[in-house]
Structure 1
Amino acid sequence: MVGERIVARLPENWRWIVTTRAAVVLSLLVALLSVATGIYRIDQQAADFGPFASHVPIAVQNAVGFTGALTGFLMLASAFALRRRLRAGWWATTLLLPLTAVQGLLQASPYSLPLVVLSVCALPTLLLSRRRFDQSLSLTTTQLAAGGALVGVQAYGTFGAYAMREDFDGIEHLLDAFYFTLITSSTVGYGDIGPESEVAILFTMSVVVLGVASFGIAIGALVGPAIQARISKTLGIMTDSELDLLDDHILVLGYGDLTEPIVNELDDANRQFLVVTRDQEAANELSDRDIRVLTANPSDEEPLQRAKIEHAGAVLVATDDDAQDAMAVLTARELRPDVRIVTAATDRENTRKLKRAGADDVISLSELGGHLLVRSALGEDESHVVTQLLESE
Structure 2
Amino acid sequence: MSEIRKIIEDLRKNKAGMRGILAIIIIFAYGILGSYFIMGLNINNSIYYTVITVATVGYGDIIPVTPLQKLFSTSLALTGLGLLAYIFTIIINSFEENLHDIRSGRHMEKRLAEMENHYILCGFGRVGTAVYEELMKRNQKVIIIEKNDEKLEDIEEDDNVIALHANATEDKTLKKLNIDKSLGVIVTTGSDVDNLFIVLTTRELYEDAWIISRASKKESIKRLKNAGANKVISPEVSGGNDIYFAAVQPNLVHITQNHGIDFLEREFEILKKHNCHLENIEYHFPGIRTPVTRTIGVLDEEEKDHFIDMVKNNPEVKESLDVMYNSVNGVHSHWISGPDKTHVDMAIEELKKEGNLLGINLDFKEINEFTKQFKE
**What TM-score do you get using the length of structure 2 for normalisation?**
0.35
**What TM-score do you get using the length of structure 1 for normalisation?**
0.34
Q: Relative to total residues, which structure has the larger helix share, 1 or 2?
A: 1
Task: Answer 1 or 2: higher relative contact order, Cα 8 Å, separation at least 6.
Answer: 2
